[in-house]
A and B are shown apart, each in its own frame.
Chain A
Amino acid sequence: MNASSAISAGSAPEFRAAGTDLSERRRSGVSRGPIVDLPVTSGTIGIDWAADGSARIGAFTTIAAIASDVRIQDAYPGIAAAAQGLATPQIRHLATLGGNLAQRSRCWYFRNPQIGCLKKGGSDCPARSGNHLYHAAFDLGPCVAPHPSTMAMALLVYDATITTDRRSRLSLPDFVGDGTNGAADHALEPGEKIEAISLPAPLASERACYQRAISRSYAEWPLVEVCARAVVSGGIFQHVRIAAGGVAPVPLRLTACQVALEGKPANAEVIAQAAQLATSGARPLPMTGYKLELLVGLVRDVVERIAK
């Protein structure tokens, strides 16, 4: 049993960092068990830089602090842009990196206290047979809600690892799981706390970009979001890393796109062809086919920006 399902059973407390996700669930009654405020310690807040240029970001560092950090913007522009693109300014000032990673689903069935679902101890996913307009286009597990964490998706692109109070070097794929556990949004053990995120040193002259597709201009959960990084050397793509959010129960590595770009000339034609591969493995629901069009367009947009 993981932390989240334990909470809904009322047997273990739910952890609170800044509370920007939890407060709304407390008000609505989706979260009813005990809560424990996580203590901030000197080792769990702020950004530390090692001699090799790698960074360690404390779990309590706010999203706004990450977005506005000049050195992060320089070394990990995809992380800074993702932080700048999520939620609203008033939330980014409060919300923490650890909280963003461990936040719960934004599914409109999950958020309704009157409706049961897999993430609340239920036995089926009402979105699958109901209205899933904003849900997954890669149907990887019983729950079809897309993973809510923009930062998890961006960190995946940077091969970041997570340090908890119990283990270090937990990879992002291990942290989010493979989507087959519909009850959970992450794979932390009950009571396990995120302390920091470690980013490998950036490559020389690497570039990155983050974009989201939404209907308005700002402040909207992404229909699709993409983060990519690469080195463009002598007009050739190298070290390509691309991930997508908003389309699957977990942030997705777009391996087929990466392979199609790696070692190829950084031109529009190559990019357009590679972008088509973003949908490899997709299994859209009846209402989410449009996300695949957006995904292709967004990969093309993001990679073109890197190639420029």
Chain B
Amino acid sequence: MNTMIINGRVEPLPEDPDALLIDVVRDQLGLTGTKLVCGGGVCGACTVLVDGVPIASCLMPARAAAGKSVTTVEGIGAQELHPVQKAFMAHDALQCGFCTPGFILEAAAFCDRWRAAKGTAVPSREEIGAALSGHLCRCGAYDAIFRAVADACAGRFDGGHFASPRIEARDKVTGAARYTVDIRHDGQLEGVILRSRDAHARITVLDLAPARALDGVTAVSLLSDDRIVRYVGEPIAAVAAKDRKTALAALAAIKPTSEPLPAVIGLDAARKDDAPVVFDRASRKRAGNVSEAAGGPAPWKRNVRGPTSVFARRAKRARNWVDEARQASNSLLVEGTFRTGTQQHACLEPHAAVARFDGEELTVHASSQWVVHLKEQIAKRFKLDPARVRVIADHVGGGFGSKASIGAETIAAVELARAANAPVRVVYDRHEELSVAGYRPAAEVKVALLPSDRGELKALSVTAHADTGAATNSTIAGLARLMYPAEAKDLRDFDVISNLPPGAAFRGPGGPPMAFAVEQAVDEAALRLAVDPIALRKRWDPDPNRQRLYDWALSLDTWRNRTSAGSGRYRRGVGVATGYWLYLWQPKVKVEVAVKGGRIVASTATQDIGTGTRSVLADTVAREFDLEADEVEVRIGDSSLPEGPGSGGSRVTASVLPPTLTAIQKLKAALLEQATRKPAPGSNAPWRELIARSADIAISETRGEDGKNTAPGIRSPLKDLGLLGVVFGWMMRRNSNIVIGAGVPSSVQVIEVEVDAWLGHVRVLKVHTGIAVGKIAAPPLAHSQACGAVIQGLGYALYEAREVDPLSGDVLTAGMEDYRIPGIADTPEIDVHFDEAGFDHVLGNSVGLGEVATVPTSPAVANAIFNAIGVRLAEIPIRPDRIVAALKGRTAA
């Protein structure tokens, strides 16, 4: 038998020629720090060292490791942390942590090589970027990774003294952090899902007997009661067996008979009058939801749902003025049609669930953004007592909106676990993750923007058609209401439903496509009015938070030194754009702050998807009690804890901080009251002493309402909507458990690019991101979030697009080589500016930033490209094919 040495131990290798090294590492040896993500050698998450050299273990046959020495992340810091691990912790070079083990191994190998050859010289950004070019991080931690690797190479982390702003960082750099995909119960089966090959069909016969006839195989139907599948990949059945290979073989034994129905693929085809209808009237409730909140009523004709235009104001007047201006050939009227691409969440940890029944008790480990909601959904769907359902999500490898509600992975895992009477794990493969796990819908956004003769904004018309697949409830145009007040606004949103997988909420749903269109139109208006584009925004956009950000942007050298379009091969340009998001918080959120066994413990049923929620809680408690953050135990990621918020709508910080602060004050009072002995006078750690000596006390507090006293100009955005706003706010609170608070989280970005006119390549040189979200609760983590939001926005602007087959509806970009997310070398210099005013009426003074920080990136890039080449790119992603086409069109014209 062949063997390898792994982390110093001799281990046998399997005979199976198809066994890959990662299978042995993860499944046979349980070394789950090594992650399987793309399965194609693209992302680097599975990297291990073989004889000291980083390789892709998802591609290396296990038998090729015979006689070799393998090191996994568990082996690299086993004795003492590697300087690279310490540097990643100290610089917060990680967020969700799922890519981190791969980065650590590659960076450690690079650092060791570098040190051996060059001592403590500092490698350049280019050298680090090239060395780590085989790794992808969806959270976008690259900015800190550059700094971490440079400092580790320079020898700044050879010693033992360093601190990490993220309390779970050590678990993430050593591979100890356990994600849902790493859970393994005794007797656990592996579940896989049979999916539709047709874009539209009725399943007439589904016979599970051939699968069930196989030894140890359980099969269940996942068909809906109308037996209709509406997209390629819609679940039909699920199978569980002892391992994935056996389960896939059983799946292949099921041969459903289907009756094809006429299908229609994509936005343009689906809105034709003669297009086949995806949802008839009776089946409309089956459509998915692409927003963070529940939708209201809307007209729905064939495949087009809409318009929803509740945010319009004097819409007819706006239309009339625009028509008149067009007929009069008013040169100030800016009109354009913009198109945005379909953006996949591409979470590195795929959708995954592990379900286990213990008698009547159901425990589900799930890669979830909202454990409480998932628990409720599971209880409802399976008719279980909610008190006997528990959802656990210790670590979540990214979500970005796609893991906010129950999905087929959870449904299949629970169904199969019940039928098999055994624990079952269901993990999406990369093809599933990049095709049926949700996406930000593509959109066509038509804008007409009419300045008055005096240079004020007179009318704004935005009509958006979103390519929502088998889902509805897109709001893009409507979001143009809460900025740039105009005399009249005509804002209309349409969903265009087709036989494609359903879209889902994605980081600021509707915000980036709205901004991509409107912010380019404002830029064009500035050009025609011969006004500085930031100065025009300052004139048209009175929001006090953004007014301060405009002043900051105007002062930037990058902005002041910009020039007009060039003509050589490399052309530089600078662009600006604005974005906002709503300040949302979740009522009824409870946080318990307690002393347990002489330690302080903060608990709430929220989850950390990489945003830093654990650390925000730990930091807040530690600061109030003069402790170190690691002295605070934070319990989250468990639905059995006091009800916490979902990680969506940038609501977590604003929902958990106020009750945490109130609970802390009450706990302090209780500690003082019951203390038999006061702390020694002059003690520099009075609370530490009191806590250590205290009996157990628990204080649980609920999120209260915000104060009424706001700074000038700060008020609830709903107030501007009058009675409608009151009704809308009430519905949001009642149906979606979300409150829209006063004040508007805002961001302004100034971006510099360089366009290669020969090769169509856009290099982003510098990003300034100014963000107003109140006081920053955990500055290093907020910085990480702000950078990550920019990087994801750059992906949206330049690289990312789902491509489908126009006839079959197959998603073609279902691998990481074809669905292109930004890499480390694509990361520009990022300057983060936090303006901390504006939210003093919120207890804790902080609101969330995850969404607002990504909204303006794509229009700022497009405006910068216009500044560089003199051509406006109306469609994203702005790939090389689009740049060369735009330049060719300009030359021809």
Residue among A88, A108, A218 facing the most chain B CB atoms (10 A cut-off): A88
The answer to the question of A111 belonging to the interface, with a C-beta cut-off of 8 Å to chain B, is yes
- CB-CB under 8 A for A114 and B810, given A94-B55, A218-B825, A220-B820: yes
Binary interface encoding of chain A residues 121-137 relative to chain B, with 1 for a CB under 8 A from any of its CBs, else 0: 00000100111011000
A126 to B885, Cβ gap below 8 A? no
Q: Among B41, B129, B881, point to the contact of A90 (Cβ < 8 A).
A: B41
Known: A89-B106, A90-B44, A218-B823. A290 touches B760 (CB 8 A): yes
Cβ-based interface call for A174 (8 A)? no
Contact between chains at A300 and B41 (CB < 8 Å): no
Nearest CB in chain A: distance from B454 CB, A: 43
B799-838 interface bits toward A, Cβ cutoff 8 Å, 1 = contact, 0 = none:
1000111111010111101101011011000000000000
Given contacts A19-B64, A23-B58, A130-B807, contact A290 B134 (CB under 8 A): no
Given A37-B17, A215-B799, residue A88 in contact with residue B61 (CB < 8 A): no
The verdict on A293 contacting B810 (CB below 8 Å), with A218-B823, A219-B133 known, is no
B54 touches A215 (CB 8 A): no
**A16 lies within 8 A of chain B by Cβ:** yes
Which residue of A111, A126, A130, A216 has the most chain B CB atoms within 10 A of its CB atom? A216
Q: Please give me the residue from chain A that is nearest to B880 by CB atom.
A: A215
Smallest CB-CB separation from A27: which chain B residue?
Answer: B39
- For residue A297, give the distance in angstroms from its CB to the closest CB of chain B: 3
A166 on the B face (CB < 8 A): no
A151 at the interface (CB under 8 A from B): no
Most chain-A CB neighbours within 10 Å: which of B757, B760, B812? B812
Complex Cα spacing A87 to B60, Å: 15
CB contacts (< 8 Å) of B805 on chain A: these are 109, 115, 126, 130-131
Bound-state CA distance A257–B805 (Å) is 36
Cross-chain contact B59 with A215 (CB below 8 angstroms): no
Q: Specify which chain B residues have a CB less than 8 angstroms from the CB of A220 in the assembled complex.
A: 817, 820
A23 touches B880 (CB 8 A): no
B40, CB-defined interface residue at 8 Å: yes
Chain A, interface size category, equals 35 or more
The answer on a CB contact under 8 Å between A218 and B133 is yes
- Once the chains bind, are B17 and A35 in contact (CB under 8 Å)? yes
Most chain-B CB neighbours within 10 Å: which of A90, A93, A131, A293? A90
User: Which one of B197, B812, B885 lies within 8 Å of A108 (CB-CB)?
Assistant: B812
Residues on A with C-beta less than 8 A from B822 are: 216
**Distance from B528 Cβ to chain A, minimum over Cβ atoms (Å):** 30
Residues of A within 8 A of B387 (CB): none
Closest to A292 in B: B884
- Interface set, chain A 101-118, CB cutoff 8 A to B: 106, 108-109, 111-112, 114-115
Q: How far is the CB of B361 from chain A (nearest CB, A)?
A: 36
Interface residues in A62-93 (C-beta closer than 8 Å to B): 87-91, 93
Which residues on the A side are within 8 Å of B530 (C-beta)?
A: none
Chain B interface: which size bin?
A: 35 or more
Residues of A within 8 A of B18 (CB): 26, 35
Mask, B853-873, CB within 8 Å of A = 1, is 000000000000000000000
The proximity string for A residues 272-294 relative to B, scoring 1 for CB distances below 8 Å and 0 otherwise, is 00000000000000000011011
Contact string against B for A residues 202-224, beta-carbon threshold 8 Å, 1 for contact and 0 otherwise: 00000000000111111111010
Within 8 A of A (CB), among B420-471: 431
The verdict on A215 contacting B798 (CB below 8 Å), with A88-B56, A90-B106 known, is yes
| Docked CA distance A218–B572 (Å) | 21
A301 within 8 A of B: yes
Docked-complex contact A24 and B39, CB < 8 angstroms:
yes
**In the assembly, what is the distance between CA of A28 and CA of B38, in Å?**
11
Q: Contact flags (1/0) for B118-141 with A, using CB distance below 8 Å?
A: 000000000001110110000000
Q: Contacts A16-B61, A27-B39, A94-B55 given: A217-B759 contact, CB under 8 Å?
A: no
Of A94, A112, A129, the residue contacting B60 (CB under 8 A) is: A94
Check if B759 sits within 8 Å of A294, measured CB to CB.
yes
B59 neighbours in A (Cβ, 8 Å): 18-20, 23-24, 91, 94
B47 within 8 A of A: yes
Q: B63 an interface residue at 8 Å Cβ cutoff? A: yes
Whether the pair B758, A88 counts as a contact (CB closer than 8 A) is no
Report how far A126 CA is from B809 CA in the complex, Å.
12
Name the one of A20, A129, A134 contacting B41, with C-beta atoms under 8 angstroms.
A20
Report the Cα distance A54→B61, complex, angstroms: 33
Q: Does A230 contact B (CB under 8 A)?
A: no
A215 and B820: CB pair below 8 A?
Answer: yes
Cβ of B803 to closest chain A Cβ, rounded Å: 5
- Asked whether, in the complex, the Cβ of A28 is within 8 Å of the Cβ of B42, the reply is no
Name the contact of A93 in the complex, choosing from B54, B881, B882 (C-beta under 8 A): B54
A217 near B826 with CB under 8 A, answer yes
For the complex, give the distance between the alpha carbons of A274 and B300 in Å.
Answer: 57
- Looking at the assembled complex, report how far the CB atom of B129 sits from the nearest CB atom of chain A, in whole angstroms: 7
Residues of A contacting B42 in the complex (Cβ-Cβ under 8 angstroms): 88, 219
Q: Which residue of B761, B807, B814 has the most chain A CB atoms within 10 A of its CB atom?
A: B761
Is the beta-carbon distance between A91 and B761 smaller than 8 angstroms? no
C-alpha spacing A28/B47, complex, angstroms: 20
A35 to B54, CA, bound (A): 25
Central interface residue in A18, A111, A215, A298, by most chain B CB within 10 Å: A215
Find the residue from B20, B41, B882 having the highest chain A CB count within 10 A. B41
- Contact A91:B803 (CB < 8 A) given known A24-B39, A108-B813, A215-B879: no
B888 lies within 8 A of chain A by Cβ: yes
**Is B44's CB under 8 angstroms from A88's CB?**
yes
> Is B53 among interface residues, defined by CB-CB distance under 8 A?
yes
With contact pairs A20-B59, A108-B813 given, residues A88 and B134 touching in the complex (Cβ less than 8 Å): yes
Chain B residue nearest in CB terms to A25: B40
Residue from B64, B810, B814, B826 in contact with A216 in the complex, judged by beta carbons closer than 8 Å: B826
Contacts of A291 in B (CB 8 A): 881
Q: A23-B20, A130-B807 are in contact. Are A219 and B758 (CB under 8 A)?
A: no
| Contacting pair A94 B56 (CB below 8 A) | yes
- Are B56 and A20 neighbours in the complex by a CB distance under 8 Å? yes
Inside 8 A of A93's CB, which chain B residues have their CB? Answer: 53-55
Closest B residue to A91 using CB positions: B41
Within 8 A of A (CB), among B1-57: 17-18, 20, 39-42, 44, 47, 53-56
Distance between Cα atoms of A115 and B809 in the complex (Å): 12
Given known contacts A89-B54, A131-B803, is B888 in contact with A293 (CB within 8 Å)?
A: yes
Task: Render A31-46 as a binary contact track against B, CB cut-off 8 A, 1 for contact.
Answer: 0000101000000000
Chain B neighbourhood of A89, CB < 8 A: 54, 106, 131, 133-134
CA distance A282 to B392 in the complex (A): 57
* Pairwise interchain contact A23-B61, C-beta atoms closer than 8 A: yes
* A112–B53 touching, CB < 8 Å: no
Complexed CA–CA distance, A18 and B65 (Å): 11
Min CB distance A144 to B, Å, is 14
Contact of A131 with B812 at beta-carbon distance under 8 Å, contacts A20-B59, A23-B58, A89-B131 already known: yes
Interchain CB contact under 8 A, A216 and B820: yes
A217 touches B814 (CB 8 A): no
Report Cα–Cα, A99/B40, bound state, in Å.
16
Taking the closest CB of chain A, its distance from the CB of B549, in whole angstroms, is: 30
How far in angstroms is the closest Cβ of chain B from A180?
Answer: 25
How far is the CB of B268 from the nearest CB of chain A, in Å? 14
Closest Cβ of chain A: how far from B311's Cβ, in Å? 35
Q: Is the CB of A109 within 8 A of B812?
A: yes
Question: Top 10 nearest A-B pairs by Cβ distance?
Answer: A88-B134, A297-B758, A290-B881, A218-B133, A217-B825, A293-B884, A108-B812, A23-B59, A90-B56, A24-B40
Return 6 A-B CB contacts under 8 Å, by A number: A19-B61, A19-B64, A88-B44, A112-B814, A131-B803, A223-B880
**Interfacial residues, chain A to chain B (CB-CB below 8 A):** 16, 18-20, 23-24, 26-29, 35, 37, 87-91, 93-94, 106, 108-109, 111-112, 114-115, 126, 129-131, 133-134, 213-221, 223, 290-291, 293-294, 297-298, 300-301
Apart from the given pairs A115-B810, A216-B826, 15 other A-B contacts in the complex at a CB distance below 8 Å: A16-B17, A19-B64, A91-B56, A93-B55, A94-B55, A94-B60, A112-B812, A130-B805, A131-B812, A214-B761, A215-B880, A223-B881, A290-B884, A291-B881, A298-B759
